[in-house]
Amino acid sequence: MRIPLTSMTKTATVAALLLITSVTSAQVTMKEVADAFNQGVQFASTNPELAVKSFEQAIKYADEVGGDEALGLRNQAMAQIPKLYFDHARALVSKNDLNGALAQLKNCIAAGEKYNMPQYANNARPTISAIYLSLGNAAFKSKNYTEAISNFNQSTEYNPRAIKAHLGKVLVFNEQGLEAEMVGAAIDGMNSNPVPNDMAVIEDIKRVVSNFYFNSAQTTMQAKNYSTTESNLLNAIKFGMDANPIVYYQLGLARMSMNKWDEAVEALMESVDLDEAAAAADKAKYFFNLGKSYEALGNAQKACESYKKALHGEFAQAAKFQIENVLKCVSE
């Protein structure tokens, strides 16, 4: 009579379980070590859980039997266990069972540490990090920010250089308007020893933070909260907007509103330098406000020079008035 394959598999499984549980320490011989080891090999591709149990039993028997031959099989079994967990995790990832894969990878790390096989832990950690990154991205897309942060934190815990997870945290905190947390996550990412391939993501992190501060500055400027505006714009510069003439122009205006004339001149001059190639009409706003700042400082000569460079576009009439009626600048 032909036995169905499923029945054969079940029979082999039962036999393996009997092998694992039936031998007492008084009966252990080299044969039991080899049988347990071979059982693990047999089930490695079909039943990883049972294979692990078989290899663990082989290790236990080998310790009891002793001798070079037993210890040789023991070492082979120790090498197989973390590998089984890792291979099982890869199979689960292919089936999109990410949580199952995480459990197997964590077992892989534990087994690697138990049996002094660090190479498996070294392989499992970045894989765990990548899975948590994927879960974090999915949660962020669904606007489940609490879950997203939890997953991104796990990702960076298993791989502190997981730069995209650092970016994920910055994006979540930006959406939530949590400034301190966003900045902390940004700094962690920027200080994570990034490799050259990570630099584009570092720039994304800086862009998110600098935009946050620039947009905040627009709100605080409109509310005439000039001190906070100054702080926001300085932070925008710190996180990447250091080559943006408009940021320095707005910084100059905020400082003018606080009568910080010397610092206003400094910011406005930076705008002029950064926007050197712009058309005269576009630069007129810088020079007109430089004129006002120099005028407030009592430097009529510098004020006149600046107002004359502002005689373009929408600032032409106001600059002309200052030149002719207020300062009575000498014509060159």
Strands, DSSP E only, in the chain?
none
d(CA 291, CA 283): 13
| Residue 16 confidence (pLDDT) | 47
Q: Is residue 124 part of a domain?
A: no
| Residue 121 confidence (pLDDT) | 84
Residue numbers in the chain where pLDDT is lower than 50:
1-22, 24-25
User: Please, which residues have CB within 8 angstroms of residue 138's CB and are 6 or more apart in sequence?
Assistant: none
Q: Is residue 154 part of a domain?
A: no
Q: pTM, whole model, 2 decimals?
A: 0.83
pLDDT tens-digit profile of 261-271? 999 999 999 99
| Residue 26 confidence (pLDDT) | 53
| Residue 27 confidence (pLDDT) | 78
Q: Is residue 21 part of a domain?
A: yes
Domain encompassing residue 25: 1-116
What CATH number should be reported for the domain holding residue 253? 1.25.40.10
Report CA torsion sign: 207, 213, 216, 218: negative
Q: Report the half-sphere exposure of 324 (CA within 13 A, side-chain side).
A: 7
d(CA 94, CA 6): 24
| Residue 222 confidence (pLDDT) | 97
Q: Is residue 159 part of a domain?
A: no
pLDDT tens-digit profile of 10-55? 444 444 444 444 454 457 899 999 999 999 999 998 999 999 999 9
| Residue 120 confidence (pLDDT) | 86
* Total of domains in the chain: 2
Number of H helices, E strands in the chain: 16, 0
Answer with the one of 89, 116, 143 that is the final residue of a domain: 116
